[in-house]
Chains A and B, each alone.
Chain A
Amino acid sequence: MNAFGLIQIGLILSSTTIISSLQCNHLPFQQRKVIENSLRLLDKMGKEFPQQCLREKMSFRFPTQVLQPRQKETVGAAIEEIFQHIFYIFSKNLTLAAWDRTVLDQFQNGLYLQIEQLEACVIEKHTQHCQSKEVSRLKLKKYFQKIDCFLKDKQHDLCSWEISRAEMRRCLQLIDKVTRKL
């Protein structure tokens, strides 16, 4: 208990319920950290892209226009959508990918926290129905549907997972660039 002698000066007790707060100030700063961390973990969970999978590489054509910073809110909603989709993809059957499970779990955990916090903050502004937001959302759904179908068709084998991982890395890097500008 000696090590905690200073606790008297700065202790914070948390209650047993979830501290839900709509304090969103920390979100932009935290988001940058989450993306950095996610990219690091994405690299760490597996090895280099296997040579034999180069033949199967497919162009999914990420809709980069959804991240064009025309309107801050639209881009924010797009980023949240992308995080949600990436979280979903990496929750599938990953046995054939043979990645480091601990690292993958941390990756998922980081993404999920960010998604949850974005939901809590964005939910206030939901009433505005924006046409451009709808168009962005549908474009992203199409893109991730392509990846989902690709994985299903290849029965979630190693190459399909490695290709998907490389594609997700690209997504996160694009988000990273946009987040730094915001």
Chain B
Amino acid sequence: DTGWQELPGCQAVAGTGCDFSSAISEYYDAHYVRVRAQAGPLLSPWSKVLEMVPEQVAQIGPPGLELQSTNGVVKVMVSPPEANQRKKMWIDNLSFKYNLVFWENSSHAQLQSKNIFPVDTIDGLAPDSTYCFKVQANLPKEGKQGLFSPTSCVKTTQKVNDSLCPTNLSILALNMKFQLLWNSQENQDVNYNVQYLLGFWKKLHDDYSDKWLSVPRCENITSTWCNFSSIITTTGFHYLRVQAREGHNKSCFSKEVRVDPLKTNGIGPPGVRLDLSDTLLHILISPPGGAEDEVMRDHYDLSYRILYWKNSSDMKEEVKQKEVKQTIATVPDVSPSTLYCVKVQAFSEPYNKSSAYSQQECIHTPAGTPLPLVIFGIFMGALLVVLLVATPLVFVLYQAYNKIKYVFFPSCQPPLNIEGLGARPFSSPYLSAAAEESVENCCVIESMVTEEGNQIVFTDYKHSNQSSRDSGNYSNDDNTSGSKGSKETLDKEMV
């Protein structure tokens, strides 16, 4: 039985109820209450325990209401319940939804109900009539409806029909470029000033009239349109209004228009380019808003619907459809010598928006070659290439082989009677030039006979002198020059 505390102000109570608010400090915690009766010394048993969470059982009190009647409309200002309380049950007073109920103070009055912002205007009222208002604060998420404020009545004034006020505000939006248009009277002396308000200000309890800002480049203009793309962000919405000014004292504000950028905006058509390679048709899509601007792609999660068909004059071909997320699509197996036409549409699945179709782009596929001819052509081409490459290669290899064979494995051997040659493995004139000279130093001496031939011999000597230096081939092989050869060698010795 521990933990139970006595409730102050609820001890020895005569009636069947008591106020124990002072004991409640934690509004979100579960509390348990029990009661018992006492008659003299007799005590009843404890009642069943009542479990409750203060915040859950609490009711929302009445809000405050202020009314202002101006120019045929009624300005309503609501102050939240617990407005000036130090300790609040409903800490977050911004989550209240205010329900305004109003009626004309006449015999058969019809109740009108409207969800309003804390600071709001009620129009569409009959002029010079008394209207009565009351408001309640609700928390729909928690299923709570608050108590109504006391009823307050006010008389509406005559509405001054100012033709100066801009009317028929409309918005044109394409690819995140926004334009506001309005109607005006024919008066040339009118200046316009376009203002915007960040949407969330209306949710707060303060007066937001000082929170309106001018749209850049739309201040003091005479045209009846304004490009307000510069103030648009993709997260968050705005209200817009137009002020018309004539001279110094006359001014009038138009009605407000709300802009939800991503919902209001229209998606423009994408760009299309076609390309062909072999039997593939490539469709290259450029997203709406241009390649440099990523806004459209980022915020709309764009996909593309491609329609393509064969454009032939004689028969109607079926239009095929393809949906892609990337900006490149390929159509396989296109028929040759055919005109293919393509058009693309961008769409956003989350926002259920689609653009207009792009311009139709057509491309003619080239005349196809029959397959066996293609194969034969490739074969001949390959053969030619092989021949062109292989022939010189074989020739070069053959030449190299010959040279190597000549250098390392010559077909003719020097005579065996030349000393010292048999032992050497590479008996080639190229490789043993130095040794050759010593060989030439050996001489075979023979008896000299004739006188007539002397001169001739001498000239021959000289001649053969030179020739013998050139190549040993000639001196070795020739028989007739054999004797000369000996004389040559003799000559050499002398030289």
- Residues of A whose CB lies within 8 Å of any CB of B are 3-4, 6-7, 9-14, 16, 18-19, 21, 23, 25-30, 33-34, 37-38, 77, 80-81, 84-85, 87-88, 91, 105-106, 108-114, 119, 122-123, 126, 129, 134, 137-138, 141-142, 144-145, 148
Partner of A30, one of B262, B266, B268: B262
Total interface residues on B, CB under 8 Å, equals 54
Instruction: Check if B257 sits within 8 Å of A25, measured CB to CB.
Output: no
A80 and B349 alpha carbons, distance in the complex (Å)? 23
Contacting residues, chain B, for A11 (C-beta < 8 A): 172-174, 266
Q: Is the CB of A87 within 8 A of B234?
A: no
Docked complex Cα distance between A141 and B145 (Å): 19
Identity of the chain A residue whose Cβ is nearest the Cβ of B200 in the assembled complex: A112
- When the two chains form their complex, are residues A16 and B177 in contact, meaning their CB atoms are under 8 A apart? no
Contacts of B92 in A (CB 8 A): 84-85, 88, 144
In contact, B140 and A126 (Cβ under 8 angstroms): yes
Check B75 for interface membership: any CB of A closer than 8 A. Answer: no
Q: Complex formed: what's the CA distance from A21 to B140 in Å? A: 18
Determine if B199 and A10 form an interchain contact, defined as CB atoms under 8 angstroms apart: no
Cβ of B255 and Cβ of A16 under 8 Å apart? yes
Q: For chain B residues 261-299, which have a beta carbon within 8 Å of chain A?
A: 262-269, 298-299
Q: How far is the CB of B137 from chain A (nearest CB, A)?
A: 15
Interface centre among B235, B265, B348, B349 (most CB of A within 10 A): B235
* Min CB–CB distance A58 → chain B (angstroms): 18
With A37-B235, A110-B235 known to touch, is A10 a contact of B262 (CB < 8 Å)? no
Bound together, the chains give a CA A133 to CA B344 distance in angstroms of 46
Name the CB-closest residue of A to B263. Answer: A19
B92 nearest CB neighbor, chain A only: A88
5 contacts between A and B (CB under 8 A): A14-B264, A77-B141, A119-B140, A119-B141, A141-B55
- In the complex, are the beta carbons of A6 and B174 less than 8 A apart? yes
Which of A11, A105, A137: most chain B CB closer than 10 A? A11
The reply to whether B53 and A109 contact each other, CB–CB distance below 8 Å, is no
| A13–B171 touching, CB < 8 Å | yes
**B-side contacts of A10, CB under 8 Å:** 174, 266-269, 355-356
Contact in complex: A14, B268 (CB < 8 Å): no
Residues of A within 8 A of B259 (CB): 14
Instruction: With CB as the reference atom, state the residue of chain B lying closest to A41.
Output: B235
Closest to B181 in A: A13
Instruction: Tell me the smallest distance from the CB of A109 to a CB of chain B, in Å.
Output: 3
Judge whether B67 is part of the interface by a CB distance below 8 angstroms.
no
* Chain A positions within 8 Å of B93 at CB level: 88
> In the bound complex, what is the Cα–Cα distance between A4 and B258 (angstroms)?
21
In the complex, B492 has a CB within 8 A of chain A:
no
Cα distance A85–B91 when bound, in Å?
9
A66, B142: Cα distance in complex, Å:
17
Q: Is the CB of B265 within 8 A of A87?
A: no
Contacts of B142 in A (CB 8 A): 137
The answer to whether the Cβ of B396 comes within 8 Å of any Cβ in the partner chain is no
The complex places the Cα of A28 from the Cα of B349 at a distance, in Å, of 12
Of B92, B269, B350, most buried by chain A (CB within 10 Å of CB) is B92
- Most chain B C-beta atoms within 10 Å of own C-beta, residue among A27, A28, A87, A148: A87
Contact surface of B with A, Cβ cutoff 8 Å: 28, 53, 55-56, 91-95, 140-143, 169-174, 177, 179, 198-200, 203-204, 233-237, 255, 257-260, 262-269, 298-299, 301, 348-352, 355-356
| Other-chain residue from B53, B140, B203, B269 in contact with A112 (beta carbon distance below 8 A) | B203
* A6 surroundings in chain B (CB, below 8 A): 174, 268-269
- CB of A88 within 8 A of CB of B350, answer no
Query: Given A9-B269, A25-B350, A108-B200, does the pair A14, B236 have CB atoms closer than 8 Å?
Result: no
For the A-B complex with A13-B171, A113-B237 known, give 16 more contacts whose Cβ atoms are closer than 8 Å. Answer: A4-B174, A14-B173, A19-B260, A27-B350, A37-B234, A108-B198, A109-B237, A112-B199, A114-B235, A123-B140, A126-B140, A138-B53, A141-B28, A141-B91, A142-B28, A148-B91
A122 to B140, alpha carbons, bound, how many Å? 11
The distance in angstroms between the C-alpha atoms of A82 and B179, with both chains bound, is 35
Q: How far is the CA of A37 from the CA of B263 in the complex (A)?
A: 18
Say which residue of A18, A37, A87, A119 sits within 8 Å of B94 (CB atoms). Answer: A87
Q: Is the CB of B198 within 8 A of A126?
A: no
> Given A14-B259, A91-B204, does the pair A26, B351 have CB atoms closer than 8 Å?
yes
Expressed in whole angstroms, the minimum distance between the Cβ of A50 and any Cβ of chain B is 27
A6, B177: Cα distance in complex, Å: 11
CA distance A84 to B92 in the complex (A): 8
B172–A4 contact, CB under 8 A? yes
- A13 and B177 CA atoms in complex are apart in Å by 13
CB of A110 within 8 A of CB of B257, answer no
Contact A138 B351 (CB under 8 A): no
Give A91's nearest chain B residue, CB to CB: B204
Query: In angstroms, how far is the closest chain A Cβ from the Cβ of B175?
Result: 8
Shortest distance between the CB of B63 and any CB in chain A (Å):
17
Whether B179 and A4, one on each chain, are in contact in the complex, defined by CB atoms closer than 8 angstroms, is yes
- Residue from B171, B235, B264, B348 within 8 A of A113 (CB atoms): B235
Q: A138 touching B141 by the CB < 8 A rule?
A: no
Shortest beta-carbon distance, A151 to chain B, in Å? 11
User: Considering the chains assembled together, what is the distance between the CA atoms of A105 and B257 in angstroms?
Assistant: 20
Q: How far does the Cβ of B394 sit from chain A's closest Cβ, in whole Å?
A: 67
A9 to B268, CA, bound (A): 8
CA–CA, A30 and B171, complex, Å: 22
Which of B95, B141, B233, B262 is close to A106, meaning CB atoms less than 8 Å apart?
Answer: B233
A9 to B174, CA, bound (A): 9
| A29–B94 CB distance below 8 A | no
Residue pair A109, B171 in contact (C-beta under 8 Å): no
Q: Kindly identify which residue among B143, B233, B257, B351 contacts A126, using a CB–CB cutoff of 8 Å.
A: B143
CA distance A84 to B91 in the complex (A): 12
**Pairwise interchain contact A12-B350, C-beta atoms closer than 8 A:** no
B55/A138 in contact, CB under 8 A: yes
> Do A84 and B94 form a contact, CB below 8 Å, given A12-B172, A33-B235, A112-B200?
yes
CA distance A123 to B140 in the complex (A): 8
Which of A27, A80, A109, A138 sits near B235, CB closer than 8 Å? Answer: A109
Closest to B353 in A: A12
B94 to chain A, nearest CB (A): 5
Q: Give bound CA distance, A73 to B170, whole Å.
A: 38
A109, B174: Cβ atoms closer than 8 Å = no
